[in-house]
Structure 1
Amino acid sequence: MRTVAYFINKYLQLSETFIYNEITHIKRFHPIVIAKNILNRDVFPFEDIFLWERNKIEYILREHKAVLIHAHFGGGGIMVLPVALKLGIPIIVEFHGIDTSRYPRYFVYRRRLKKLFEKGNCFIAVSEDMKNDLVKLGCEEEKIRVCYIGIDVDKFSLKHHRVENINKIVMCGRFVEKKGFEYGIKAYARMKNKNTRLIIIGDGKLMPQMKEVVESLKLSSSVDFLGFCSHDRVKEELKRADIFLAPHVTARNGDKEGIPNTIKEAMATGLPVVSTYHSGIPELVKDGRSGFLVNERDVEGMSRCLEKLLDNPGLREEMGKRGRQMILEKFTLEGEIEELEEIYESNVKRL
């Protein structure tokens, strides 16, 4: 079986389940992983992982007869490009958001990106919005393939909405600026419907700041910070929830999302989504059909949408079903792997 070598700077951050799913579900190629740092191997077990050592990397690629290199993130592509060119191995680079939004603000990164676009074989964007960003950065449109990151829908059962005394709104993600948690909390504070709880899942450097926001708005009795949760715990919380709130924003340093997997998982569970017109999110959430979208940082608009859903259990269920159908049609892990393997095949055949 032909070998594809995945290059990842850090194997793997806890939030990078999507990369692990990719590596472990490829069927037509044998995957190996090369990483500069190895983390969380107990969470993401994988046998063929090799530590990046400049004087050994060529040997590893030759020894395993790699026919293709798949680098994750623009920085990873830049790092492994010289080796790929030296050995004549096609290189595919998959971008994820920060590498097309924040990092291009740095002149050195943009200069290296220019060479990567010139010499690299194919570039994967995880949304149409990201494809447009890559074109603006100077990548030839013909070299770009949009491949939506998919989720394993079988792991998420469709919830049945019941009228409860207390309705639960969930936010989930790392506590970083682009998640927009501050605006979600403020939208929750403006709601007139008080028979609710806000559940916030995740961890990160901004958590103390978000707790201060909650305290200043006198919401401590109705907001729960769960911290980092296992994937199974997240799924359980989604099942118990009524609405998924994803108030994403473009950070002050330019950082943007691709299309957040947390939203996909919520939709697969059958939750209606309240989110923003941010990055590729409108490609996933259709305003008025599977949820509601407002402009970034529109606290009042978010609050109105939450109220509308809380006042209409039937609308919640209807939107939730449409959302799951969208996932089944365009955002499954099976569909992503099929698309990815076609990309691999087309680039290997150019040899």
Structure 2
Amino acid sequence: MSPVVGYLTKRFPRLSETFILDEILALQAAGVDLRLFALADPREAITQPDVAAVRGPVGYLHAGRGPLRATAEVAATLLAHARLAARSPRRYLGVVGYLLRRRRHVSSVRHFLEAGRLARWLEADGVTHLHAAFAHGPASVAHFVHLLTGLPFSFSAHAKDLYRSPADLLAVKVEAARFVLVCSAAAASDLGRIAGPAADKVVLAYHGVDTRRFRPTTAEPDADSGEPIRVLAVGRLVPKKGYPVLLDALARALAGGAHLQCRILGTGDQRGAIEAAIGRLGLGDTVTLLGGGTQEDVVEQLGWAQVFVQASVVLTDGDRDGIPNALLEAMAAGLAVVATPVGGIAEVITSGSTGILVPPGDSTVLAAALAGLAADAGRRRRLGEAGRRQVIARFDRAVCARAMVRRFDPGTGRSDRSPADVAV
């Protein structure tokens, strides 16, 4: 009998979380019977067109605002918990005791309450395994569902949800889960150290990209055309993306005689600061902020670009990138890429072979790398071709999805491991 998998994320669909959408579509294409749930509806103005291809509705634990909606949610939550308590009083009181002893935080109480409602939906849908797409809130809700009902669960860990979560709570969730999927070997190693004896549950499962959709389209200008080299960055306008470093590097490269044009695709809280830096550095004629965009916009901009930059940094609170999907998409599109070895990026790029790695936060070295690529069309072409081969071989969406599908084996008594996966 094939498993019915509940897939729980924080908010869906989110414009910036294309890896979640890609994962859902790939799992459905592989034949996994998914039931989709989210803690909330983000209600963003722009959504990815591919959302229309997702099969089935999404169950939202928090679907809207207003007193009537809030009252209905409270009533449904109380009813769900009353039924759980009546069905198995001892189990229910044990979970309440655990909550009071070990998880005395407002967020934990919220996750416990959400788990009661979700558990009822999962039972109604015949779900046999629950997977949470993030290590923080969604995994906490899934853990409480497991404690309340015994339903097996797993979760994925990525970047912020891993590095900004309390280590002791992560260890508890790993121990309780059937398995944990982590999107880079660096993150798998970090989580494995936190998990201690349960480290063997941590499994490396790379995100994949659609290498048929993202493919080379850029036509290089003639060597003597005098056109600027076209540089692209894609990602949310948030501190860990390192945009101030990129802007400073562009200013340095231009001052050294490089001829560059840059576009940045993304939205975020740092837009005002980035606009101010563009003005301060005199980059108004060089850098264009495009705002947010869909995957179609990403494809279009990759077709425009010749060089892709990922200037990621590690923040003081530990937050960092894992392996940015935009970086994989750029490599699949055959662009020469310059990036920093933050998170799992060095697992994708061998410097000088499939791209160029520069120290995080070092605008001088980044400027030199950009200037060097601007002056060498042959090197841009070689790096782009090698990068695409790397992504096709290791990060194709269908291949990565097959590795994930093996996790949802209905035979819980058998090993969840397979030779194709790397474990900690």
1:277, distance to aligned residue in structure 2 (A): 1.4
Q: How many residues align?
A: 346
1:189–1:219: 8 Å Cα contact kept in structure 2? yes
1:30 is matched with 33
- 1:347 and 1:310, CA in 2 relative to 1: closer, same or farther beyond 3 A? farther
1:348, distance to aligned residue in structure 2 (A): 4.0
Q: Is the strand fraction higher in 1 or 2? A: 1
Matched residue type, 2:239: E
2:247 is matched with 185
- Name the SS of the counterpart of 1:33 in structure 2: strand
Separation (CA, whole Å) in 2 of partners of 1:346 and 1:186:
53
- Name the SS of the counterpart of 1:24 in structure 2: helix
1:193, distance to aligned residue in structure 2 (A): 3.3
**Residue 135 of structure 2 is aligned with which of 71, 74, 77?**
74
Matched residue type, 1:35: A
- Larger radius of gyration between Structure 1 and Structure 2: 2
List alignment gaps of at least 5 residues for structure 1: 104-108
Task: Kindly indicate whether residue 215 of structure 2 is the aligned counterpart of residue 157 of structure 1.
Answer: yes
2:233–2:264: 8 Å Cα contact kept in structure 1? yes
Separation (CA, whole Å) in 2 of partners of 1:243 and 1:260:
16
Task: Kindly indicate whether residue 384 of structure 2 is the aligned counterpart of residue 320 of structure 1.
Answer: yes
CA displacement 1:188-212 (0-9 Å, x = unmatched): 1111234221111111110110111
Q: CA RMSD in A?
A: 1.8
Matched residue type, 1:176: V
- Name the SS of the counterpart of 2:131 in structure 1: strand
Separation (CA, whole Å) in 2 of partners of 1:249 and 1:100:
16
**Residue 228 of structure 2 is aligned with which of 166, 169, 173?**
166
Matched residue type, 2:34: P
Question: Which stretch of structure 1 is more off in the superposition, 186-195 or 208-217?
Answer: 186-195
- 1:10 and 1:160, CA in 2 relative to 1: closer, same or farther beyond 3 A? closer
1:238 is matched with 302
2:373–2:379: 8 Å Cα contact kept in structure 1? yes
1:106 is matched with none
Separation (CA, whole Å) in 1 of partners of 2:298 and 2:39:
29
Question: Could you tell me the TM-score, scaled by structure 1's length?
Answer: 0.93
Separation (CA, whole Å) in 2 of partners of 1:347 and 1:305:
51
Matched residue type, 2:334: G
- 1:328 and 1:346, CA in 2 relative to 1: closer, same or farther beyond 3 A? farther
CA displacement 1:114-171 (0-9 Å, x = unmatched): 3212211111110000001102222522101100000111102213541351211111
1:11–1:38: 8 Å Cα contact kept in structure 2? yes
Separation (CA, whole Å) in 2 of partners of 1:340 and 1:3:
14
| Percent identity over paired residues | 25
- 1:212 and 1:195, CA in 2 relative to 1: closer, same or farther beyond 3 A? same
Question: Which stretch of structure 1 is more off in the superposition, 75-84 or 49-58?
Answer: 49-58
CA displacement 1:54-104 (0-9 Å, x = unmatched): 42322221222211111011121112212123322221110011122123x
Separation (CA, whole Å) in 1 of partners of 2:386 and 2:410:
34
Matched residue type, 1:314: G
Separation (CA, whole Å) in 2 of partners of 1:346 and 1:319:
43
Separation (CA, whole Å) in 2 of partners of 1:346 and 1:310:
53
Matched residue type, 2:207: I
- 1:189 and 1:173, CA in 2 relative to 1: closer, same or farther beyond 3 A? same
- Name the SS of the counterpart of 1:136 in structure 2: helix
Task: Kindly indicate whether residue 184 of structure 2 is the aligned counterpart of residue 120 of structure 1.
Answer: no
Question: Which stretch of structure 1 is more off in the superposition, 47-56 or 212-221?
Answer: 47-56
1:40, distance to aligned residue in structure 2 (A): 4.6
2:147 is matched with 85
Question: Which stretch of structure 1 is more off in the superposition, 234-243 or 311-320?
Answer: 234-243
Question: Which stretch of structure 1 is more off in the superposition, 338-347 or 273-282?
Answer: 338-347
Separation (CA, whole Å) in 2 of partners of 1:310 and 1:338:
39
Question: Which stretch of structure 1 is more off in the superposition, 77-86 or 177-186?
Answer: 77-86
Question: Which stretch of structure 1 is more off in the superposition, 164-173 or 176-185?
Answer: 164-173
**Residue 406 of structure 2 is aligned with which of 332, 338, 342?**
342
CA displacement 1:34-71 (0-9 Å, x = unmatched): 21212358643442311236423222212222111110
Task: Kindly indicate whether residue 189 of structure 2 is the aligned counterpart of residue 132 of structure 1.
Answer: yes
List alignment gaps of at least 5 residues for structure 2: 62-75, 81-116, 416-424
1:296 is matched with 360
- 1:142 and 1:84, CA in 2 relative to 1: closer, same or farther beyond 3 A? same
